[in-house]
Amino acid sequence: MRKFADLDELIAAEGEELGSSDWLEIDQDRIDRFADATGDHQWIHVDREKAAAGPFGSTIAHGYLSLSLLAYFGPRVYTLEKAPTMGINYGLNKVRFLQPVKVGARVRDKVRLTGVRSSDKGVLLTMEHTVEIEDDDRPALVAEALVLIVP
């Protein structure tokens, strides 16, 4: 966990890797709960028997489940000791799902601060996220996320 005293110190880290989260195991319960929350019950996610005979050899996490974990990982990668009023998910510039996350795999997020832009609303940060799969050379996904920090 990288700690920044305040927003100015975080802004000064533009261009730097902020760090990586701890590993998180993606179990079937998490996949099933995501399926229930989104209504996406495709067999590759929830039917263990059929998925075992399918192209991946097991169930896999939804791509959007892997993407949604950015909200979980972010506060585990860096923090501001002097918290701003709020941080708002401002959207995504680019997302690529590079390979599936199989049930039982462990993933983590590596975050780099690639851009900072001030506006009358606050400071817009561009964060490059790479969700890695343990013991795999290729990441599950890469995403460029925008976070609006309201001081």
pLDDT at 86: 95
Of 92, 76, 77, give the one whose Cα is nearest residue 126: 92
pTM for the whole structure: 0.94
- Tens of pLDDT along the chain (151 residues) come to 999 999 999 999 999 999 999 999 999 999 999 999 999 999 999 999 999 999 999 999 999 999 999 999 999 999 999 999 999 999 999 999 999 999 999 999 999 999 999 999 999 999 999 999 999 999 999 999 999 999 8
Give the pairing of strands 122-133 and 86-97: unpaired
pLDDT score, position 151: 87
Nearest to 101 by CA among 135, 143, 146: 135
At 94, the amino acid letter reads K
What is the model's pLDDT at position 35?
98
Asked if residue 25 lies in contact with residue 106, where contact means CB atoms within 8 angstroms, the answer is: yes
